């Protein structure tokens, strides 16, 4: 059987959840069961993962139209493949490949983290008939799956986002620190956390607050984000622990130990989008503060594993933090209970079974 090919040109290193998605599948798929087409910068990281092999065939990421050319090749050679972060462009690419290869793209799998509803997606939708008829569209939530069906996709599967959990369920532990896990961004509430640090500095509070921020990376997201990062770092808050590098897997997991995770994400951006960070937090027994009306907020409310805020304001965030800390044993116990359920629901075997790569 030919190995699955995962196509994700944005995968360069530890930052972001592309790597954890790939790691989860490789860990459960068996030795060298998965090839990964990613940026050459990711080769070393991929080589260290169980069950993963970096695809070094030409064209490599960085060459003109490398992703589209790899999709065309996969369809032509009947290679089973999964586009890890799909939108309308990939559906069009699969359809074009099918036309060129004169082959139905039945081994093409497109993972849609969100429904492809942008104007650009609507344009490419008109070119994606073959993909919508023959390819598999995979969604991490029922809402995204329904949207894909409404767009004419014939083979839609709802499979919860695959994630790695510890072998043994987490146990409640005393509070240690506040944590904004993963790379901090404005759409994830970085501005609120920066304002909170400034406010607490004035009030003389000193709760440990861990944030992963980088001025260098913030520049990719605009001047406003750079200004917010600078404001946070110069806030004078004594409890601030700032890191500018993405941690290795072991350190990343350890950060959830005793953490209250801050996830005041934008409602518009995360109403249906799964947050790998929040999923990881709950899988490791860490309570979460999230925005009401988002996917993270729905998980928090489902298990009572934290507090949701309606108003994305510093005052609401501060009140939510104090609410959780006042009854920390209750919230951390419920987060540990959530971990047991979520481990079963987000077992990578579910996606691997769909892709016919499960070891079972």
CB-based contacts of 58: which residues, under 8 Å, 6+ apart? none
Return the number of other C-beta atoms located less than 10 Å from residue 63's C-beta: 11
Cα angle: 129, vertex 158, 50; to 5 degrees: 105
Q: Give the domain ranges of the chain.
A: 4-162+347-354, 177-345
The widest CA-to-CA distance across the chain, in whole angstroms, is: 69
Which pair of structure tokens corresponds to residue 197?
Answer: 């640090």
**Percent of the chain clearing pLDDT 90 (strictly above):** 79
Return the number of other C-beta atoms located less than 10 Å from residue 334's C-beta: 19
pLDDT of 115:
93
Tens digits of per-residue pLDDT, 229-269?
999 999 999 999 998 888 888 999 999 999 999 999 999 98
Phi, psi of 269 (to 5 degrees): -80, -30
Tens digits of per-residue pLDDT, 127-143?
999 999 999 999 999 99
pLDDT of 15:
67
Half-sphere exposure of 27 (CA within 13 A, CB side): 14
Residue range 335-358: average pLDDT? Answer: 91
Spatial separation of the C-alpha atoms in residues 118 and 348, rounded to whole Å: 29
Helix (H, G, I), strand (E, B) or coil at 210: strand
Query: What is the dotted CATH code of the domain comprising 4-162+347-354?
Result: 3.40.50.2000
Strand order in the sheet with 306-309: 240-243, 209-212, 177-183, 259-263, 288-291, 306-309
pLDDT of 325 strictly over 60: yes
Select the more confidently predicted residue: 197 or 57. 197
Strand partners, 6: 36, 82
pLDDT of 358:
45
Residue range 192-201: average pLDDT? Answer: 97
* Confidence label for 39 from pLDDT (cuts 50, 70 and 90): very high
Rg for the chain, CA atoms, rounded: 21
Comparing 56-65, 118-127, 221-230, the range with the smallest average pLDDT is: 221-230
* Confidence label for 342 from pLDDT (cuts 50, 70 and 90): very high
Residue range 34-39: average pLDDT? Answer: 94
The reply to whether 177-345 shares the fold of 4-162+347-354 is yes
* Confidence label for 273 from pLDDT (cuts 50, 70 and 90): confident
pLDDT of 134:
97
pLDDT of 221 strictly over 60: no
pLDDT of 225:
83
The DSSP bridge pattern shows strands 259-263 and 4-7 to be unpaired
Helix (H, G, I), strand (E, B) or coil at 360: coil
Q: Rounded mean pLDDT of the chain? A: 92
pLDDT of 359:
42
pLDDT of 351 strictly over 70: yes
- Give the fold, CATH level 3, of 177-345: Rossmann fold (3.40.50)
Comparing 156-160, 210-214, 275-279, 331-335, the range with the smallest average pLDDT is: 210-214
User: 3-state SS of 249-305?
Assistant: HHHHHHCCCCEEEEECCCHHHHCCCCCHHHHHHHHCCCCEEEECCCHHHHHHHHHCC
pLDDT of 282 strictly over 60: yes
Spatial separation of the C-alpha atoms in residues 247 and 256, rounded to whole Å: 12
Tens digits of per-residue pLDDT, 107-164?
999 999 999 999 999 999 999 999 999 999 999 999 999 999 999 999 999 999 999 8
pLDDT of 3:
86
């Amino acid at each position: 059987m030919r190995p699955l090919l995962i196509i994700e040109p944005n995968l360069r290193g530890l930052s972001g959840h592309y790597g954890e998605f790939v790691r989860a599948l490789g860990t459960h798929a068996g030795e060298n069961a998965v090839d990964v087409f990613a940026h050459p910068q990711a080769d070393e990281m991929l080589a260290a993962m169980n069950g993963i092999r970096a695809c070094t065939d030409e064209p490599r990421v960085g060459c003109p139209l490398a992703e589209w050319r790899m999709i065309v090749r996969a369809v032509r050679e009947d290679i089973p493949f999964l586009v890890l972060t799909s939108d309308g462009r990939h559906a069009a690419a699969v359809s074009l490949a099918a036309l060129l290869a004169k082959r139905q793209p039945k081994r093409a799998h497109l993972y849609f983290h969100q429904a492809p509803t942008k104007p650009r997606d609507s344009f490419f939708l008109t070119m994606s008939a073959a993909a919508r008829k023959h390819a598999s569209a995979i969604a991490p939530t029922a809402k995204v799956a329904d949207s894909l069906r409404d767009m004419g996709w014939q083979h839609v599967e709802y499979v919860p986002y695959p994630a790695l959990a510890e072998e043994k369920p987490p146990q409640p532990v005393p509070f240690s620190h506040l944590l904004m896990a993963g790379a901090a961004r404005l759409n994830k509430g970085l501005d609120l956390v920066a304002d909170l640090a400034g406010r607490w500095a004035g009030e003389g509070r000193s709760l440990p607050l861990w944030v992963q921020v980088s001025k260098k990376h913030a520049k990719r997201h605009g001047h406003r984000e750079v200004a917010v990062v600078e404001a946070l770092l110069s806030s004078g808050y004594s409890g601030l622990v700032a890191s500018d590098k993405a941690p290795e897997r072991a350190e990343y997991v350890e950060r959830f130990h005793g953490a209250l995770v801050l996830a005041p994400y934008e409602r518009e951006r995360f109403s249906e989008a799964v947050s790998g960070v929040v999923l990881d937090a709950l899988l490791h027994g860490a309570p979460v503060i999230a925005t009401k009306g988002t996917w993270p907020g729905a998980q928090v409310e489902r298990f009572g594993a934290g507090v949701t805020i309606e108003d994305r304001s510093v005052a609401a965030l501060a009140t939510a933090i104090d609410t959780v800390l006042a009854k920390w044993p209750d919230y951390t116990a419920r987060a540990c209970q959530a971990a047991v359920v979520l481990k079963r629901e987000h077992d990578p075997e579910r996606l691997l079974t769909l892709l016919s790569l499960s070891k079972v």
